[in-house]
């Protein structure tokens, strides 16, 4: 079987976005090079196999069950963490933490907001590599992404919980949605307002929502690595849980690491997974695909480097 050598869509999505019920309709994108499987000036965004990953997210009962189960487990862990004033999900956070009010840190894309709609649209349209940023920004501007199963319920329940001193949980959204200029807008970061509006439409508003939303590039030091933004949160809050869909939502320096290095990093943090750190399933894109590179055949032929357990024999 012939296999495409073009960069996989998930790889492009990971670089640009993670760095990035009834589905809403995606608006027509702004003018761009002619779409279509035969109209690409360079490579097509999608390679073989993207359809299956996207269909699994959009149609399978298994995805919904896994996502909702993850959020139920996270809520139970949050209750335990709130009762323990020394509990923190941020490895850089130490010393006396009881004076700090509690917080949860969450990624947005494929953690809170479901972006499988534009993924499916780009697959159907044969979207070209150079068109991706335009199509993605049109989707963000549409402000109509649905919630990942279980996410909205978790956020509402978390905000209603309090620590032993009666202080409510604050939810921070640390996302690699990027601040970029947009034609017709004077806003330096229209994506911030779009993301906040999307959350509000899902009933996830809060008095501090605009402050709780932290996009890539809103400050010069807020790059793809999320540690600098978590440190901002950690200065004023005890981070009880961290929830995301990518290893880089939790750990620094893994975004472009090899699969083996990523596995070692996962094992080094073994005690936190499923206790303070919770991962949502995302087979569509992510830094795991960046680590494999554009050609999957060597990875398919190789022995898997993922360990069954993290203890050396």
Q: In the chain, how many H helices and how many E strands?
A: 12, 5
Residue 215, domain CATH: 3.40.50.1000
Of the pLDDT bands very low, low, confident and very high (cuts 50, 70, 90), residue 312 is low
pLDDT attached to residue 88: 98
Tokens describing residue 272: 């936190």
Query: 232 exposed, middle or buried (CB, 10 Å; 0-12, 13-18, 19+)?
Result: middle
Query: Is 147 a residue whose pLDDT tops 90?
Result: yes
Contacts with 298 (C-beta within 8 Å, 6 or more apart), sequence order: none
Please indicate, yes or no, if residue 149 is contained in any of the structural domains.
yes
pLDDT attached to residue 10: 44
Mean predicted lDDT score pLDDT of the chain: 87
Of the pLDDT bands very low, low, confident and very high (cuts 50, 70, 90), residue 30 is very low
Please indicate, yes or no, if residue 4 is contained in any of the structural domains.
no
Residue 121 CA, chain-centre distance (Å), reads: 19
* Domains in the chain, number: 1
CA distance 122 to 116: 10
> What is the percent of the chain with per-residue pLDDT over 70, rounded to a whole number?
83
Please indicate, yes or no, if residue 3 is contained in any of the structural domains.
no
Domain extent for 110: 9-301
Please indicate, yes or no, if residue 308 is contained in any of the structural domains.
no
pLDDT tens for 158-197 read 999 999 999 999 999 999 999 999 998 999 999 999 999 9
Reported pTM: 0.87
Of the pLDDT bands very low, low, confident and very high (cuts 50, 70, 90), residue 293 is confident
Please indicate, yes or no, if residue 231 is contained in any of the structural domains.
yes
Please indicate, yes or no, if residue 85 is contained in any of the structural domains.
yes
Secondary structure string (H, E, C) spanning 178-245: ECCCCCCCCCCCHHHHHHHHHHHHCCCCCCCHHHHEEEECCCCCCCCCCHHHHHHHHHHCEEEEEEEC
Of the pLDDT bands very low, low, confident and very high (cuts 50, 70, 90), residue 42 is low
Tokens describing residue 14: 């990971």
Contacts with 86 (C-beta within 8 Å, 6 or more apart), sequence order: 97, 98
Please indicate, yes or no, if residue 307 is contained in any of the structural domains.
no
pLDDT attached to residue 235: 96
pLDDT tens for 218-261 read 999 999 999 999 999 999 999 999 999 999 999 999 998 999 99
pLDDT tens for 81-139 read 999 999 999 999 988 899 999 999 999 999 999 999 999 999 998 888 788 899 999 99
The closest of 227, 266, 218, 234 to 249, measured between CA atoms, is 227
Which range (32-36, 271-275, 280-284) has the least confidence? 32-36
pLDDT attached to residue 205: 98
Please indicate, yes or no, if residue 201 is contained in any of the structural domains.
yes
């Amino acid at each position: 079987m012939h296999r495409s050598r073009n960069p996989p869509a998930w790889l492009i999505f990971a670089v640009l976005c993670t760095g990035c019920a009834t589905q809403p309709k995606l608006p027509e994108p702004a003018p761009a090079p002619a779409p279509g499987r035969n109209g690409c000036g360079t490579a097509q965004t999608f390679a073989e196999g993207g359809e299956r990953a996207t269909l699994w997210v959009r149609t399978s009962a298994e995805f919904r069950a896994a996502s909702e189960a993850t959020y139920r487990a996270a809520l139970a862990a949050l209750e335990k963490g709130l009762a323990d004033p020394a509990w923190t999900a941020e490895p850089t956070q130490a010393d006396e933490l009881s004076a700090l009010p509690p917080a949860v840190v969450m990624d947005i894309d494929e953690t809170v907001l479901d972006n499988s709609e534009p993924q499916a649209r780009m697959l159907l349209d044969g979207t070209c590599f150079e068109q991706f940023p335009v199509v993605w920004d049109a989707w963000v501007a549409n402000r109509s992404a649905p919630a990942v199963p279980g996410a909205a319920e978790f956020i509402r329940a978390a905000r209603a919980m309090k620590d032993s001193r009666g202080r409510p949980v604050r939810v921070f959204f640390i996302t690699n949605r990027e601040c970029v200029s947009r034609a017709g807008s004077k806003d330096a970061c229209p994506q911030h307002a779009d993301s906040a509006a999307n959350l509000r439409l899902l009933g996830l508003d809060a008095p501090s929502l605009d402050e709780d939303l932290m996009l890539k590039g809103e400050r010069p030091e807020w790059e793809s690595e999320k540690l600098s933004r978590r440190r901002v949160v950690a200065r004023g809050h005890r981070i009880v849980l961290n929830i995301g869909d990518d290893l880089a939502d939790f750990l620094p320096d893994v975004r472009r690491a090899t699969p083996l290095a990523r596995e070692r990093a996962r094992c080094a943090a073994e005690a936190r997974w499923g206790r303070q750190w919770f991962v949502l399933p995302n087979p569509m894109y992510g830094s795991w695909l960046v680590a494999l590179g554009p050609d999957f055949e060597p990875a398919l032929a190789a022995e898997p480097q993922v360990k069954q357990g993290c203890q050396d024999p």
